Amino acid sequence: MCSDRIPAISIHALSKCYRVFDRPQDRLVQALRARAGSVFGVATKPLFREFWALRDVSLDVSRGETVGIIGRNGSGKSTLLQAICGTLTPTTGAVGVDGRVAALLELGTGFNPEFTGRENIYMNASILGLSDEQVRDRFDDIVEFADIGDFIDQPVKTYSSGMYVRLAFAVIAHVDADILVVDEALSVGDVFFAQKCMRYLRNFQKSGTVLFVSHDASAVTNLCDRAIWLDGGRTIMDGPAKDVCEAYHASTYGHLPVQRGPRPEADTVDAMIAAEPSAEDQSVVRVFQFDPGQGGFGDGSAKITSIRIEGEPGRQLSQVEGGEVVTLVVEAETRRDIECPIIGFFLKDRLGQHLFGTHTYREDRQGQMPVGPGRRIVARFSFSMPYLPRGRYTVDAAIANGSYDEHTQADWTYDGVVLESVSSTVSVGLVGIPYRSIEIGIDGDAAPTAAT
């Protein structure tokens, strides 16, 4: 949240115009004509068209604020960020930035492809204001964060796009920035690194200013206090992230919230129908088991030892389907006395958004009692698997000691299980609901249209 109203970024009447030529040689001819015209005082017809990537954009971003920027491709989002970062000169207007900016823009920005990862760390960090001594002190942490192994000494031109982003984000995470700018970079790379980045972003939000560009409106709503909707280089809406994202989503489908008035056009109705899930929604999800000790935190009084998904009791699943009743089993081992153990979990998408989860704590503390060291605790959570859109998801599991409001975290394990939805008919929303039936009736006579 915004800590005060002192602006970290001030933009006034910002515009950026590009000259678009039909043929490459027209650039040279235009330059010669312009030179001749200035010498002889003769007006010449331009050989280019003007394209305004930004038109009269004004905004202030306060210190400590997290602002999302959304819009279709070509709306001016990246141009705006480049102007803020100082890599692009505006045609008109002014940009003021108070603080050190660290930016993760399109792939390739800030790195020399011929240099090794090691060399690029020193070069990029020095561009961002660190001295050689500071880079040396933080080098091991940067390499550990990037986690690209021996590729650190290979030219970055040999890197995959995911490795490129890993290294770039690792650098900006260690340069003591005041303002962090991220442009769609988290859409590249695996689910583990994306969630590592999201955890870093959430921690950075406590003291820094964040500009976050994404086509994922749900991610913007989840992460940002405020959002700005750009279209055609102009600011369409600036306000609370939820309100802006809902308006943007409505425009994507070509309709606004339902109002009394004329009947909507046919294409609007089609878009509204397409946005509704059907009873035939389905998804096929692969289950990958990982070592639950890979990463997390806690005081060590207990340790998560196993996280798995079962079908029938005792039968571990490697694949599940939407609507299927499954059981998530979390096992833990106590290392010290636990007065009141609580085990819980979250299912997260690739950006770390919590889709659903629960825990074993009950207000009446029924079934909860002190447990001594060396004991095995097993929690089972049975539920109908929702339909998951295509993509990767992870399960966090944790064991704590105490109550819901006051507890001590014994062990929180990140990404203990990975789920990959490889086939899905769900295209709208974060998850699909396993409907038992859907009916429509006329004059009270219900007629089932679908059922499971």
List, for residues 273-298, the tens digit of each pLDDT value: 333 334 456 788 888 877 666 667 88
**Strands across the sheet with 209-213, in order?**
101-104, 179-183, 209-213, 66-70, 226-231, 234-240
| pLDDT at 13 > cutoff 90 | yes
Right CATH number for 283-424 from 2.70.50.60, 3.40.47.10, 2.40.50.840, 2.60.120.620?
2.70.50.60
Q: How many CB atoms lie within 10 A of CB 123?
A: 16
DSSP letter string, 88-121: S--SEEEEEE-S-EEEE-STTTT--TTSBHHHHH
What's residue 119's pLDDT?
Answer: 93
Instruction: Round to whole Å and give the CA distance between 426 and 268.
Output: 20
| pLDDT at 439 > cutoff 70 | no
The two structure tokens encoding residue 86: 């100082």
pLDDT digits (tens, 9 = 90+) for 224-240: 889 999 998 999 999 99
Q: Specify the pTM.
A: 0.61
In the chain, which segments carry CATH 3.40.50.300? 7-99+178-251
**Strands across the sheet with 92-97, in order?**
48-62, 7-21, 92-97
In the chain, which segments carry CATH 2.70.50.60? 283-424
What CATH number belongs to 7-99+178-251?
Answer: 3.40.50.300
